[in-house]
Amino acid sequence: MSGQPGVRDDAGIRRITLDRAEVANALTLDDLTVIESAARDLPDEIRAIVVLGAARKVFSAGMHVETFLNTPPDEGRALIERVGSCVGAIRLAPVPTVAVVEGHCLGAAFELALACDVRICSTAATFGLPEVRLGIPSVVDAALLAEYVGLGKAKEMILTGGIYPVESVPAIANAVVPAAEIDGVVEDMLRALTSPTREVVAAQKSLFETWLNVGLAEGIEVSKQVFGEVFALPVTQQAIAAYEAGRRRKA
């Protein structure tokens, strides 16, 4: 097999590359550890994370079937805790996360992509949660699917275990472009996502998590508290001043 996911930092961007082309970049438990560590251990200079498949023909087929075959029946909870910890690290990363999806994006890898803030897809991207075909439920960040496609479509996708071309579930993608154009679209998105201060992005991402997990009234109250804390930061005052100076120059 090829190696574990590659992790490379360049110009403030951390790229996590899924790299087992001979098995459609299927993931092992050790791979999950690498991905989770890359998402949690972020130097201050890292402004965004990109997750992509090696060779760009497939994102990932999800967990390697040998993982399920080799896990004793009474250790299923421990297995899915490993998956949840990895996917949760991507969802909760304090910087923007971008999944670059070409070809199949299935199972736990689909959950990983759903956990990312943005998904840039080629026209050949396909999505699916085939777990039911193995007799196991789709869990973890599959819970986010209804937020994107609606409850009815999410039930269809999960209960059939089918594979869906991106054009049939367009709400999953932030952009769908030919493969030849995908790198340029990703770079444009990264420039936009890394333009705000790292502090405000981290705060805003924490609020998205709050809004998903609490009621409206509590979410509003937490938002006001976070606003006050971020507003008081020196970097925020510098950003406001820089914005106003730029506005005046353009006037």
DSSP-assigned beta bridge partners for residue 177: 122
Q: Are residues 202 and 164 part of one domain?
A: no
pLDDT at 41 over 90: yes
Contacts of 64 (CB under 8 A, 6+ apart): 20, 23, 26, 27, 28
Instruction: Label residue 2 by pLDDT band (50, 70, 90).
Output: low
Q: Whole domain around residue 242: which residue ranges?
A: 198-250
Q: Which listed residue (36, 66, 111, 221) is catalytic?
A: 111
Burial (0-12, 13-18, 19+ Cβ within 10 Å), 180: exposed
Which residue in 131, 187, 221, 244 is the catalytic one? 131
150 within some domain:
yes
Looking at the structure, do residues 189 and 202 belong to the same domain, yes or no? Answer: no
**What does each C-alpha distance from 82 to 10, 37, 73, 99, 237 come to in angstroms?**
28, 12, 16, 20, 40
Residues 71 and 171 in one domain: yes
Provide the b/e sequence for 104-123 (b: ≥16 CB within 10 Å). bbbbbbbbbbbbbbbbbbbe
Catalytic residue list contains 156: no
| Local confidence band at 205 (pLDDT 50, 70, 90 cut-offs) | very high
Query: What's the total number of domains in the chain?
Result: 2
Q: 134 and 221 share a domain?
A: no
pLDDT in tens, 140-180: 999 999 999 999 999 999 999 999 999 999 999 999 999 99
Mean pLDDT of the chain: 96
147 and 86 within one domain: yes
Whether residue 147 sits in one domain with residue 232: no
Residue 165 lies in a domain: yes
Q: Does the residue 154 lie in any domain? A: yes
Taking the C-alpha atoms of residue 152 and residue 148, their distance in angstroms, rounded to an integer, is: 11
CATH number at residue 79: 3.90.226.10
| 152-158: long-range pairs with CB below 8 Å, 24+ | 157/127, 157/128, 157/129, 158/129, 158/132
What's the pTM value of the predicted model, to 2 decimals?
Answer: 0.95
Q: Is residue 1 part of a domain?
A: no
Mean pLDDT to the nearest integer, 62-79: 95
Q: State the average pLDDT over residues 31-36.
A: 98
The angle, 0 to 180 degrees and rounded to 10, between the axes of the packed helices 76-91 and 107-115 is 30
131 is catalytic: yes
135 and 232 together in one domain: no
Residues 87 and 167 in one domain: yes
